[in-house]
Structure formats: structure tokens, C-alpha cells
Structure 1
Amino acid sequence: MTTEVRVPTLGESVSEATVATWFKKPGDSVEQDEMLCELETDKVTVEVPSPAAGTLADIVAGEGETVGVDALLANISEGASGGKSDEGSKETKEAPKEEAAGSGGDQGDTTGETVDVMVPTLGESVSEATVSTWFKKVGDSVEADETLCELETDKVSVEVPAPSAGTLSEIKAEEGSTVEAGGQLAVIAKSAAGQSGKAKPDAGVEHGGDSPSAKEGDNQYSTPPAGQGRKDVEDAPSAKKAMAEKGVSRDQVTGTGRDGRAMKSDVDAALAAAKSAPAEGSQPKQAPRAPVSAEDAEREERVKMTRLRQTIARRLKDAQNTAAMLTTYNEVDMTETMALRSEYKELFEKKHGVRLGFMSFFTKACCHALKEVPEVNAEVDGTDIVYKNFVHMGIATGTPQGLVVPVIRDADAKSFAEIEADIADKGKRARDGKLSMAEMQGGTFTISNGGVYGSLMSSPILNPPQSGILGMHKIQERPMVVNGKIEARPMMYLALSYDHRIVDGKGAVTFLVRVKEALEDPRRMLMDL
């Protein structure tokens, strides 16, 4: 039996790659999931694992060749075990010999078809995730498309549905395990016969039992301190290559892969840490935590940051370190916008089926202003400025897991009703953790509404690589001079944070003035003034 090795999905907008290195040659024996070769794209390096155990029969795409997604890379001739069912071959490889021999009485029951549950594509630049929750346990029956578990990446939570109806016969990655894109999560037996052959030996794995086979088969990833990975664990080839090229020693790298396996991202993290660390002797080390009494320590709670929170922290700091960020302020009288909304909100909801909020007014006002000041809708790419002739509006949304920014695509071409419908839908799914990666990528400008939490004034941080973000705030009645008289007016402070590398002060102030004018006289947006 021959198994084809093909180019995996390379990420959003990436259609081809170059074969950088083959780690095996024709005739070499390979294990399932063993790294065969490495592909390089214009964004990331992709490792290609072996889909089956056997012998590398031939290489179709040699080093240096350019290949497209799903192109044939090589062929693997499976050994004697290849003729058995997938389940049988996995048991022969993974279970101790005594178990394989001792299960002969049940062998006739394991002829039922099995389906592997794999880690889905996690999104551009996301190569691994943490198994946060299993909703099923070994032995449970499942329906097709029923949610089996939830994965947590540094950007979103991903639900994994059952690819087929049957019985969950084996869990390969327990809660807390780190898994890579395309890795195996579990096995589903599509018949009752498959269940009888698998449920017993896996019971220990499910409950974390003390049997040796359960511990040896446990697929959890552990993260030893830097340089203290297990001696029998092979680091990722891309990590070895990166360490050699960058001159990084293994003891500087903390492996986050299975059993402390170093990944290329770990090498990048070690390099980043080395660059950000102060030169020896130049600065004092960061002060340790203040002493805590035993009584206070008992009342403290230490919780590890989620991947999403770690990414938010890193990206916000990167934004400050990279962009020449500056904030300018103005205020807007919301009288006319509030009156227009109050007059038409019931008719609007009756006709369009969505509520008329303030976000559609601000979105339209920003789209209107961005036409006049296009640099606020642009981004820096090296020594180039990339101007966007469209507006993909990011709407910052607070969720229980942290801040996310769903994107309303082509907001400049949408009506008030379409914008309100998109905001309501994406906002709800963001709070439920249902947003996909694609729905949070590609934004050109962002609006953040701190006013819903009562914020009166703030300086929003840029959402890289964007060059502008508008901060909305609380509407508060304040005394204003109108036609020579003091009146109470519903006022809101506006803040525009911008990248001063490409946006000058004149452009930033002009942008805010145009937003102010559009909101104080909403008819200007209809007349395109």
C-alpha cells in the first residue's frame, strides 16, 4: 500500500512554497508523524510530517523546487502493518508488545472502521494550540459534527467537531496538552465492535490512571526549563536549523513541544528575549516581588495567563515599541445624532430587523473622514506606505477571555443596516468565542468604545499594522456655549491615536474634525460633504 505525501495548507493568501530541506532519502524507513521535509513560504517555515509509517519510496519534489498547496511531494510504501486496519497498525506501534499479543481474543472485534480526530487549521501564523476542555470521555457515543473538545490558541478558541458518528474510543491529547496544527486529538470507532477493542486499554489514559501503559501513552506536552528537554526527544529540524544559523545554544531555548521538544517559534522567542534583556551590568535586574507574609500568601491566587491574554500583552507592547504613536483629542456634540437615532430607531428596527445604535454612525463618519485623510487608513511596510482603497473596520470588543477585534469588511460600501447587522452578529459570536481567525484579520482602521464601560477619556493603543484607532467615550451632559447662551449638551470626547511616521499632525486633526462635523450634522454624510 502506498501513501502520498502532499503539501499541507500554507496559510491565508499563501499558495506556494519552496522545498527547503529533505531529512529523509528514498529507501529510508520512516515513522508516522516523523518529519520528512521542510517547506519555506514568504511568511513561515512549514514542517511536513509523515502521514504513515513505512519506507520513503520516492521523492517527487526535490530541494529548491516550488510547489503549490496539495501538490505531491513524495510517496511512502507502508510495511507489513500497512495492510491492516488503521486501528490495528496504531496499536501495534503504540502499545507494548505484551498488550498487543494479549489482545488476541479481542482482535476479531476491532475490525470496525475508525476515524481520526485531527487538529483543524488554526489560522495564519498559528502553529499550535492548547487543549482546554474535553466535552466527551472515552466510551461516550458521539454524533457527527457534535463538539468534542475546545482548543485555545493565542488568538481564538476553536471548537473541534466529531468528523463522524460513533464512539470516542481513544483520547490522544488530554486537557492541558499542547498540540500542533494537523496533529491527532482522538480516535472515533464508527461501530460498536470498534468500541470493544479500544475502550479497555484506554481507560487508564482517560482518567490519568497509574498503569504504566497509560503513562507511556499519555500524549501531554510538558515544558521543562530551558535546555532541560528529555535526551531521547528530537528537536524540530527547523529549530535545529534556526539555532545553527542564529548561534543560539540549546540551553538558551525553552522547548514548548511534546516532552520539551524545541520548535522554531521557541528559538525565535529565545532570540527576542535576548534582544530585550538589558546588557549585563548596564542595568540592575528587575526587582523581585515584595515579601509576602504566610497569611497573605494563603489568600493569594496565582493563575497562568491564557494564550489570548499573553498575545494581547505582547502585541500592545510591540505597538508601543514599533510605531511613533501619538494621540490627539477633540469633542463632539451628540445632540443631532441622538435626535436622529431617537426619531427613526423604531422604524429602522421594524424594517431592517436590527437595532439602530451609535456604532453605525461612528463607522460611517470614520469611513467618510478616511476618504479625505487616506494616510490614517494606510500602513507602513518597510520603507513603503501601503494605502488601502477600501475600509475594513475593526470594532474592538470586550469578551470574558479578553479584547478581540472582529472586522467589518468593506464598511465604506455598506449601509447603516448592514453595518449594524454585522456588528451585532460578530459582537455576539466574539463574546461566545465563536469567531474564526479570518473574521479578525485584515482590518485597516479600528474603533474602540470605552464609553460603554463609563470611560470619560483615554488614549487607545494602535492595533498593528494599522496606523489609526479612534477612541469613543462616555456621553455626558456638560455646559456649552451655544449661540451666546450656556446650555447643557450631550458631549463625548474623541481620541485618535495614530502612527506619526506616516500621519502628520495636520492629517490627524483634520480626520477628527471631519468625524466631529459628520456626527454633529449627520446629513453631511448623506450629502458626502
Structure 2
Amino acid sequence: MAVEIIMPKMGMGMEEGTVVEWLKQKGDSVKKGESVVSISSDKIEKELEAPEEGVLIDIEADVDDVVPIGQPLGYIGAPGEAVSSPAASAPAPEKKQEDQVVEVPEVASDPEPLKGEEPRLRVSPAARRLAKIKNVDLATVTGTGPMGRITKADVAAAQVKKAQQPAEAAKSAPTPVPVSSLSNGTAKKVTGMRKVISDRMFNSLQTTAQLTLQTTVDVTELIAFQKKAREAYQINDEVRLTITDFIAKAAINALLEHKAMNSIYEGDTITTFDTVHLGVAVALDEGLVVPVIKDADKKSLSAVSREIRKASKQARGSELNKLQLSGSTFTITSLGTYGVGFFTPVINPPEVGILGVGTISEQPVYVGDELKKRSLMPLSLTFDHRAVDGAPAAAFLATVKQNLEAPFKLVL
């Protein structure tokens, strides 16, 4: 009997997941425990393993489909086996409402009510979603799936047929030329991590009063201090003491002194924290994640370095859970490795501030009356003006600068 590949629940707040990629195709043989399909939810991506050995006999959800938890993504069974219909199988425990097959009454040609039970259509979740998007009446679609079940392909075919029927009102209207037909391009639906980032950043700019302050830090002494510190930790693979580690520690210490920046703004309430939970943005090929260093103010420079290094490694291996990606009170983000100087980072709601770090460059600077070559680093602080005024935000940024220009303070 065919075994279902189910959309799992990967977090307490998860209600649905997105199919990212099928690693096996219909008809392929699979071994138990072998990765079959890649899925994502919120900012977590995971590969699902085959629950049994056999053949991937059916795929219910295509790439980019959004599927509720508990719904089947596909089926594994014996070669040539058909997917059993629920009606033919033995009675099973009552399923949740979202797990049940959606049934739509057929439209009867006779205006008088029918006697007995009205015939019903069987519709797959993917077909139902596509029909809703394309405004296709499911009662007009012929199902080609098991037991006459309407599949996504059936709805797509019906939509094409509907589009080929010319409307009288459209005959006299000029036909616009789609932009996509003017050049060769690849269209991709916004889903998964990209969709989450898109929604959060749009919401951030729409619901907050963001203002960015900028300053330049002389990190000549910091670079020299960092080199000496790294030599002291050269035998420790977990502690590398990067410039990012020092920036994080400088921000943590400044947040303890300027607590207004260590706040969140929700509804009509501003909550200020005594403890710093620092978010450190990590860039991935598919987007950006922000692992959180909890209770960062209680950790030494080397401990902060160790946690940042560990979180970055887990992020790139898609090993972070939702708890590790939530609860931050302030965030730092860097574009220094891309040669970017000043920029305007976007606040990660409900936080009220984010510190952007640019690339370090060597420039001639007057030190007293003498012109010297110094290493300068740009900082960009974006803050929510609803929660923090310009003066306290500027004072916070000045303290970060002072901490970085006197790096020995960061190890005390």
C-alpha cells in the first residue's frame, strides 16, 4: 500500500510549507531515509526523507506550491501501484479539516432538486488553489486522477481552454504586449524565504518612521589589537576574533549604556530591555537570516565570537530552528565584504534599531598636524523615530565609535 510523504510541522507557529525542489522524480526508486523533496517554512529549509523504500509513484504538490501541514506531498509505493483512494481504504481516525479532500457539489442541469445524495467532485489541494487563483469553476473541469479526482494539470488545461474562448467585449479592445514577451527572461514565483523577507521588509518600511545616521570610525588601532588577540587564540578553532566580533561587542556595551536603543515597538507600547539579545545578519544564497545571540551582554568577547561563528555555520547548513531566529532586541548587518561603504539598513521589526557596517578603507587622515594613513570604517545606524529621538540615537552611535577606537575596553 502506498505511503504518504507528509508536509511536517517544523515550528509551533507553522501552518503551511512551500515545496522548494523535488530531489526525486515520479517513477524514481527511493531508499528509506533517502532525501526526496526539499521544503521551506518561514526561514527554515529542510529535506524530507523517504518513510519507506519503493518508487515515487505520485507527486501531489509541484515546486513553489504552498501546502498545509499534514497534507500529502507525494506517495511512495510498489512499481506500477496506483494511489489508493480514501474511499477504498479502511476507516481511519478522523483527520483535521485541512487534511480532508475538498468536495464541491456538481452543478445540475435540471433546475429541480435531485433526489438522494448529490454527486460530488474530488479535488486535490493544489488543484483547488490553482482554480481559485485562475477563477476556474471546478464543476466544469473533468478530472483525470484516481477515481476521477481533479488534479492541478486538469485545472491548468481548463484555464487554457477558457482563455481560448474570445470574449465579445475584448474583440474591439487593443491587445497589450506583455513585458515578458519583449525580452528573454525567467519568471519565478516569490515563495519561501524570499517571500518572508519581502513581506517583512515591506511591512518595516510601511509601519515605522525610519531615519539613518552615519559616522566614520578610525579602526587602525582595532585592527592591530585584533591581530594580537588572534595570535593569542590561534590554537582555538572556535574563536577567531574577527572585526565583526569586536563590532558586536562594541554595540552590546553601547546598548547597555543607551537602553532606549535596546527596545521593541509593538502596537502602542515601547518595551525597553536590560538584557541584550543581539541579532547578527547572515547572508545566504537564497536570502538573509538573522540568528540571535541570547543574553549577549552576559558573555565575554571570546564567547560572543564563538556563538557568532557557530550560528553562521548553522545558518549556512540550514540547521537553525525558529527559536534561534527570534527574540532579538537589536541587529547588526554588514556589507563590508562587498565593498559597500555607507548604506541604509532596514529595521527588523519590532526592533527600533539596526547597525550597518561598511567596508574598511585606508585613507590619509590628519593626526594632530601630521598626515597619516589610517583605516576607516563607515557605520550606518537606522532607528525608528517613533521610539527614539535623533539625539539619543546619535549618542548611542558615538559610544559604539568610542568603543571601537579604544578596543582594549571591549575585553575588560
Q: TM-score by structure 1 length?
A: 0.58
C-alpha separation in 2, matches of 1:224 and 1:165:
32
How far did residue 165 of structure 1 move?
4.7
SS in 2 for 1:365: helix
Q: Residue 61 of structure 2: which of 168, 174, 194 is its match?
A: 174
Q: Do 2:252 and 2:276's aligned partners in 1 also have CA atoms closer than 8 Å? A: yes
**Letter of the 1:130 counterpart:** T
1:121 aligns with 2:9: yes
Q: Relative to 1, partners in 2 of residues 1:147 and 1:292: Cα closer, same or farther, differing over 3 Å?
A: closer
1:421 aligns with 2:317: no
How far did residue 359 of structure 1 move?
1.3
Partner of 2:365: 480
Deviation string, structure 1 residues 189-224 (Cα, Å, up to 9, x no partner): 6xxxxx36xx43259xxxxxxxxxxxx886634424
1:387 aligns with 2:272: yes
**Letter of the 2:135 counterpart:** Q
RMSD, aligned CA? 3.1
C-alpha separation in 2, matches of 1:330 and 1:301:
40
What is the correspondence of 1:285-296 to structure 2 with a 5 Å cutoff? Answer: none
Q: Relative to 1, partners in 2 of residues 1:187 and 1:300: Cα closer, same or farther, differing over 3 Å?
A: closer
C-alpha separation in 1, matches of 2:347 and 2:180:
40
C-alpha separation in 2, matches of 1:489 and 1:290:
56
Partner of 1:220: 126
Q: Residue 201 of structure 1: which of 77, 82, 88 is its match?
A: 82
What is the correspondence of 1:56-455 to structure 2 with a 5 Å cutoff? Answer: 87=1, 116-137=4-25, 138=27, 140-144=29-33, 146-162=34-50, 164-168=51-55, 170-171=57-58, 173-176=60-63, 177-187=65-75, 195=78, 199-201=80-82, 220-221=126-127, 222-224=129-131, 228=135, 230-231=137-138, 297-455=182-340
SS in 1 for 2:81: helix
**Letter of the 1:200 counterpart:** E
SS in 2 for 1:121: coil
Unaligned runs of 5+ in 1: 1-86, 88-113, 190-194, 204-215, 234-255, 261-288
How far did residue 477 of structure 1 move?
1.2
Range with greater deviation from structure 2 (477-486 or 490-499): 477-486
1:522 aligns with 2:407: yes
Q: Do 1:352 and 1:417's aligned partners in 2 also have CA atoms closer than 8 Å? A: no
How far did residue 483 of structure 1 move?
2.4
C-alpha separation in 2, matches of 1:348 and 1:312:
36
How far did residue 405 of structure 1 move?
1.5
Aligned residues: 341
How far did residue 232 of structure 1 move?
5.8
How far did residue 376 of structure 1 move?
0.9
C-alpha separation in 2, matches of 1:301 and 1:165:
36
Q: Relative to 1, partners in 2 of residues 1:426 and 1:175: Cα closer, same or farther, differing over 3 Å?
A: farther
C-alpha separation in 2, matches of 1:292 and 1:226:
21
1:504 aligns with 2:379: no
How far did residue 231 of structure 1 move?
4.5
**Letter of the 1:175 counterpart:** D
Q: Relative to 1, partners in 2 of residues 1:413 and 1:492: Cα closer, same or farther, differing over 3 Å?
A: same
How far did residue 396 of structure 1 move?
1.3
Q: Relative to 1, partners in 2 of residues 1:375 and 1:161: Cα closer, same or farther, differing over 3 Å?
A: farther
Q: Do 1:123 and 1:437's aligned partners in 2 also have CA atoms closer than 8 Å? A: yes
Deviation string, structure 1 residues 317-358 (Cα, Å, up to 9, x no partner): 211111111111111111121011111213313135432211
SS in 1 for 2:350: coil
Q: Do 1:154 and 1:309's aligned partners in 2 also have CA atoms closer than 8 Å? A: no
How far did residue 152 of structure 1 move?
2.8
**Letter of the 1:132 counterpart:** V
Q: Structure with the greater relative contact order (CA < 8 A, sep ≥ 6): 1 or 2?
A: 2
Q: Relative to 1, partners in 2 of residues 1:302 and 1:133: Cα closer, same or farther, differing over 3 Å?
A: closer
SS in 2 for 1:367: helix
SS in 2 for 1:351: coil
C-alpha separation in 1, matches of 2:367 and 2:72:
67
Q: Relative to 1, partners in 2 of residues 1:293 and 1:514: Cα closer, same or farther, differing over 3 Å?
A: closer
Q: Relative to 1, partners in 2 of residues 1:390 and 1:183: Cα closer, same or farther, differing over 3 Å?
A: farther
SS in 2 for 1:185: strand
Deviation string, structure 1 residues 206-259 (Cα, Å, up to 9, x no partner): xxxxxxxxxx886634424558254569xxxxxxxxxxxxxxxxxxxxxx9x98
Deviation string, structure 1 residues 461-484 (Cα, Å, up to 9, x no partner): 101111110000010112222123
Q: Do 2:291 and 2:324's aligned partners in 1 also have CA atoms closer than 8 Å? A: yes
How far did residue 166 of structure 1 move?
2.9
How far did residue 442 of structure 1 move?
1.4
How far did residue 362 of structure 1 move?
0.9
C-alpha separation in 1, matches of 2:405 and 2:263:
26
Q: Relative to 1, partners in 2 of residues 1:416 and 1:147: Cα closer, same or farther, differing over 3 Å?
A: farther
SS in 2 for 1:503: coil
Q: TM-score by structure 2 length?
A: 0.73
Q: Do 1:392 and 1:410's aligned partners in 2 also have CA atoms closer than 8 Å? A: yes
Q: Relative to 1, partners in 2 of residues 1:167 and 1:347: Cα closer, same or farther, differing over 3 Å?
A: farther
How far did residue 154 of structure 1 move?
4.7
C-alpha separation in 1, matches of 2:298 and 2:19:
40
Q: Do 1:119 and 1:184's aligned partners in 2 also have CA atoms closer than 8 Å? A: yes
C-alpha separation in 2, matches of 1:425 and 1:503:
32
Q: Do 2:214 and 2:379's aligned partners in 1 also have CA atoms closer than 8 Å? A: yes
Q: Do 2:59 and 2:74's aligned partners in 1 also have CA atoms closer than 8 Å? A: yes
Q: Do 1:122 and 1:181's aligned partners in 2 also have CA atoms closer than 8 Å? A: no
